[in-house]
Chain A
Amino acid sequence: MMRLPWKRTDRGRGSQTSEFEEQALPLLPSLYNLAYWLSRNAADAEDLVQETFLKALRGFATFEPGTNFKAWIFRILRNTYLTSRSGLAAKRTVSWEDEWGEHSEPGPTPYPEGAIDRQTPEMNLIRMGDRAALQNAMEQLPPPLLEVILLCDVEEMKYKEIAMALDIPIGTVMSRIARARASIRRALEVEVEAAREVNL
């Protein structure tokens, strides 16, 4: 339900806090999971989520009821991460935006045929439910690819919501997801090859 801006300011502090709690607290496990994947340790993940919640609470008066709260709060988490110690460190070591040579226009990114793996021994690993191998492969992803695959596959967010949360065009979401999956497949292949060599 849309509320007019001057009516939104009528929300009392108490009711605003409880409204915020109702919407934000169920997302705590999801936000923490993403925060941990990005920051790679529990203490930083807690700090990140805590800061996200406080920023979101402070800015809750500006949130338009009826719009996508999940995308909104994930965007705050992502921006908080980018300015955090671990986020800045990651930014120094991996390239984030244009260096990826991404197409910002919507629509499919043409890939050379060789980029698509048509022999997929790594599927054996997936079939066996080798969670550890997959998690290893995901850990190797740079943050821009990791966050997009987590939002898509774990949080089951639509491309439009991911674009909103990450503040990037839908075309970029699309190409990053394809890149992330290709990277995971490659990493799994490497694991399969390594296992084969050990067995030989």
Chain B
Amino acid sequence: MSRAPVVERVPSTAERLLAPVILGVVVIVLWQLLAGSGLIEAYLLPSPAAIGAEIAAFLPSMASAAGLTGLNALIGLLAGTIVGIVAALVASAARIIDGMLAPIVAALAVVPIVALAPVLNTAFGADAQTGRQLIAALAAFVPVFINTARGLRQTRPVHRDLMRAYAATPWQVMRTITLRTAAPFTFTGIRLASSLAVISALVAEYFGGPRGGLGGLISTSAASSAYPRAWAYVVAAIVLGLAFYLVALAIERAVSRRG
């Protein structure tokens, strides 16, 4: 008997998209059955149907909460990105500044958001979003700075030789080679920063300040034992984080296609 030849099949796009969707549906169905069976108390694990009902009932409130948290995250992400890029450019221009910044960034990278949130919330007053935006900016700054600084060091020697042979000015070298080489690295940093900014803006809301954001509503819902509603806001937070990540990923893909 001869064996059929083994042909490597490349899964189609539809198959690649369908597989995780099917898994998700299966998980939700099992979850619903488990929650409905009475084996687990409803406050420990609300059923997907209950969460879905809360989502439907509170959609406008969820959208405005996501908008508020999202705006804080976005402002923080933009500020952190700008400061991160500028700091990386300065560090790459002067080795001594690089040496001064490196330990500070390392220190910033390990600062826990939970430690800073109460301090900044109090410092900027109970009715300001500034503290939250600052926390998001701080979280976004670190990956953007580290990746941009690395990208600025990736210039290939053959390109440097070429630019010297062309007697190019430092500004021309910066524009034509250095920045363009660093760009994909910077956008990788922004992609990493996008999730961090959302998480930080959200977590910062747990420590007081104005109400109305996703983080605040998750904690109030949980505190008033409205567990399905708390989970509904968690779903909204996941959607918000995913939206940030996917936009950043799309921009990164577009920039890194060549290079």
Q: Are A and B physically bound partners?
A: no
Residues of A within 8 A of B (CB): none
Q: Which residues of B contact A (CB under 8 A)?
A: none
